[in-house]
Amino acid sequence: MLNIQPDLHLIGAADLDPKAARVLPVRQGAVPADCARAAAAAGFTGEAEKTLLLLDRPGGGVLLLLGIGEGARPEEAGAAAAAALCDQAQIAIDGRGLPRSLAVPIALGAALRAWAPPQHRQGKRASEPGLSETTRLDLLVDDAERPGRRWREAQATVEAVCLARALVAEPSNFLTPKAFATRLRALEDAGITVEILSGRALGAKGLGLLQAVGRGSVHPPQLAVLRWPGSLDQPPVCFVGKGITFDTGGISIKPADRMWEMRGDMAGAAACVGAMLALARRGSPAPAVAVLALAENMVDGDAYRPGDVIQGHAGLTVEIVDTDAEGRLVLADALSYAVSRFQPRAVVDLATLTYAVGVALGGEMAGVYGNDGLLAAHLAAAGVVVGERVWPLPVTERQREALASDIADIKQCITGRLVPDAALAAAFLRAFVGDTPWAHLDIGAVEAREEAEGRYAAGPTGFGVRLLDQLVATRYEDPDHP
């Protein structure tokens, strides 16, 4: 598994490292007396999410006053502290005197903001503005011997989100489909069963669409299946992730500009991996499965072509129109496989499927499509709780009719001006889930950020990890809630 930073620890006063930069949360109008003069000079009063950095104090070390006044959002406050101290290797948040319901989210927000991408430099990297150098984050409390549920869940969240981010940030020559699948074996230590299908096994299972997309690469496609048993005697909830580890567009090749960003075209699969780890770390009673379609979409003499007709796992034949619309093909096979094999209570797929959804919703939220209004509503509610918002968008019968083909059961997509591609992609996927409650999350505009903001460092966001974990926690862990 990737080295995931920062390490998050719960400590008592005896374990406080004097070299650590200390964060002191301050309520409105409650600035400590020994900091009052400096605070007054800077106009710091403890206002929500404001910070004041104090250097060379008596006793040495760095002290950051963190405002948690009226209206403060604990995770955002913690993120503000981590941003202010991004050049510090170790941060200690003084949570003594605060309820865990406040102290733990502050630490969680700080840890999420303090994440930095994996480095492949020779020697120590130079300091870069905004890139965190924090490798350890401590929460100082009076009763560190009693971690409690909130702390365990926060640790699970940090590990899971940072894992997803790190996977997305990896260069594609390090994270080929096979390398991705191999790294998943480390999840077995968390109690997750890992099964990998590749080569002839894909053909034997009828996964023709996944095979076609990966055919042009020297790195063959893989189907990864992750299983968390839970303890409830119920069918699993299923996550399906698009895992295109690099996307050239295939024969319908992309422009060169910003093609390097296509190493992150597996963010949906990464989010599913993170969500499964979160469930395992907190011991969720709900059974869960993740099916990940891993492939590279490359140009080659044997690459699939526009105009081809390919049969997938569901038995439907698909007319290929655009090889750069490969994500919906691999998802179709993965969805059909998941539904037929596991007969799940519900299935949610995540994919950087289209950037058309970003035109509609910007970078603030993901689009959610589906065939079950209740599932979409639960996803929307979960998104509000964890700050990963989604917005419901329609899938209509007319959109499905637009995919009618003269030579196959269904067209992959259509071309032209003002084509609602995000909706058409959802309409295509709907054909492969039958009557199973299903939701499709198009995360094409929220999987990464150009600049750091709030709980998000610049780069991959890990969007979807917390959303899926919260969905399971609120909807699928009650044994009396079918």
State the catalytic residue, choosing from 205, 254, 341, 400: 254
The pair phi, psi for residue 356, each rounded to 5°, is -60, -35
State the catalytic residue, choosing from 227, 328, 345, 389: 328
The pair phi, psi for residue 457, each rounded to 5°, is -70, 165
Residue 328: active-site member = yes
Query: Which CB contacts under 8 angstroms, 24+ apart, belong to 393-399?
Result: 393/357, 393/360, 393/367, 393/368, 393/369, 393/422, 393/423, 393/426, 394/369, 394/423, 395/369, 395/370, 395/371, 395/423, 395/426, 395/427, 395/430, 396/423, 396/427, 399/423, 399/424, 399/426, 399/427
Residue 254: active-site member = yes
Residue appearing with tokens 């992730």: 241
- Whole-angstrom distance between the N-terminal and C-terminal Cα of the chain? 35
Please state, in angstroms and as integers, the Cα–Cα distance from residue 434 to each residue in 80, 201, 291, 317, 421, following that order.
46, 24, 17, 16, 21
| Residue 373: Cβ-neighbour burial (10 angstroms; 0-12, 13-18, 19+) | exposed
For residues 381 and 272, is the Cβ–Cβ distance under 8 A? no
Please state, in angstroms and as integers, the Cα–Cα distance from residue 441 to each residue in 120, 329, 351, 353, 435, following that order.
32, 15, 6, 9, 18
Task: Give the CA dihedral 157, 158, 159, 160, nearest 10 degrees.
Answer: 50
Per-residue tokens: 397: 């019968």
Q: Please list the active-site residues.
A: 254, 328
